[in-house]
Structures are given as C-alpha cells and as structure tokens.
A and B are shown apart, each in its own frame.
Chain A
Amino acid sequence: RKEVEQDPGPFNVPEGATVAFNCTYSNSASQSFFWYRQDCRKEPKLLMSVYSSGNEDGRFTAQLNRASQYISLLIRDSKLSDSATYLCVVKEDTGRRALTFGSGTRLQVQP
C-alpha cells in the first residue's frame, strides 16, 4: 500500500463548478500536510499548507481528518486556470523523513 494515496482522476468539471479531492495517508506519525500544484510539464509548487482546524485561501479550502487519516482540498468556482495536477504531501516531523508525495489528482476545468 502506498504511503499517500490519491484518486488519479481526471476530474473533468465545467467552469464555476465546485470540486473536491481527497487523499489518504497510511503513516499515523505524519504531522504536516500540504497541497502542491503541478502544471503540465512544469515543476510542483506549494499551493497551501493544511492545518488541523482547516484553512481557506480564497477559493481553496483544505481540511484534515487525523482520525481517518485523510486530507481534502475543495475548489469553489473553478477557473480554467485551475486545470492542473494536485499533489497531496505529508511529512513526519522526526527530521529524517522527507516529504512524501501522492501521485496526484488531475483536474481539467472545461469552458
């Protein structure tokens, strides 16, 4: 079983739609959580951190459920420019482990 699992998609949604992605992680020692965004043939970039109480950044909302070991990302009012792959990332805060990336969920927003 992979440490971080995501539905690969693609999620095809019309502009203006609300879309949500989930991600599950297997290591209960994971302490830090993030969503990265990767455009086609580009490098990943940090989208947002995920805090225990949930957090929002404009149209994006991230939630963490430690009991069930999953993280979610909600995108409201989808734009064409949101089309990308969204990578779920977890980190153990023991120092020796690097960030572990999920394989990503591809989103295609259509006009």
Chain B
Amino acid sequence: DARVTQTPRHKVTEMGQEVTMRCQPILGHNTVFWYRQTMMQGLELLAYFRNRAPLDDSGMPKDRFSAEMPDATLATLKIQPSEPRDSAVYFCASGQTSGTGTGELFFGEGSRLTVL
C-alpha cells in the first residue's frame, strides 16, 4: 500500500538548533508539498514542488527555512536556526497532476516539532 513517509515523527529540540525533516513521496507522484499546521493558523503551505522544481515557496520564511528535492524519492525541509514559534506539525504530501490537475493529495503522518 503506497504511502508518503515522513521522518522524524516527533522531534524536540532547543531554540537555535538545526532541524531537518525528510519525506519520501509516493513513487510516481510528480508534486510534493510541505504544509505546517498549528491550532491557530490551520494548514499553511510552505513549499510546493513539481517534477522536483520549486513552484511556490512564498509561504516559507526564507531567512531560516529551506526546502529541497535532491531526487525524486526525497524531499527535505530544514529550519536553521529553529525558534519556539516553529513548533507545529509539518506535513508532507504528494500527488499526481496532469492537464487540468487532480485535487487528491496523499499526506504523510506528519512530523511533530517542539522547539523549547
């Protein structure tokens, strides 16, 4: 059963530390998304890749966040340095778009980050 895999599932770190989250999208999917979810803001788009090219990272604080897809099987989201306000659940999702597109995104189980 194909699924999006995210690591780590949980991370507790201290302010100022670097955090790297990883995602393995479903094989064959050409779009990958990073979302952040908090109680206050709901699901916010951080970055969006299609065929490994970044299409939209306007929701991502550029000074401390970076997102990459070094290959089709791996997407990374890095925070350096981390701050307490970065505490949230970070979801990776993948999908297959073509022509008019499809709305179904398959989400990973999320990485729950706590920055002390």
A positions within 8 Å CB-CB of B: 32-34, 42-46, 49, 87, 89, 91, 93, 95-104
Contact = CB atoms under 8 A, between A and B. Distances in A.
B25 interface: no
Contacts, number: 51
A96 B91 CA distance: 20
**Would you list the 4 A-B pairs with minimal beta carbon distance, nearest first?**
A103-B42, A43-B107, A101-B43, A98-B48
Interface of B: 31, 33, 35, 41-43, 45, 48, 55-56, 91, 100-101, 103-105, 107-110
Contact of A45 (B35, B43, B56, B107): B107
By secondary structure, the B interface counts as strand
A34 B42 contact: no
B109 A32 contact: no
Contacts of B109: 42-43
Contacts of B107: 43-45
Residue in B41, B43, B48, B104 whose Cβ sees the most chain A Cβ within 10 Å: B43
B100 A93 contact: yes
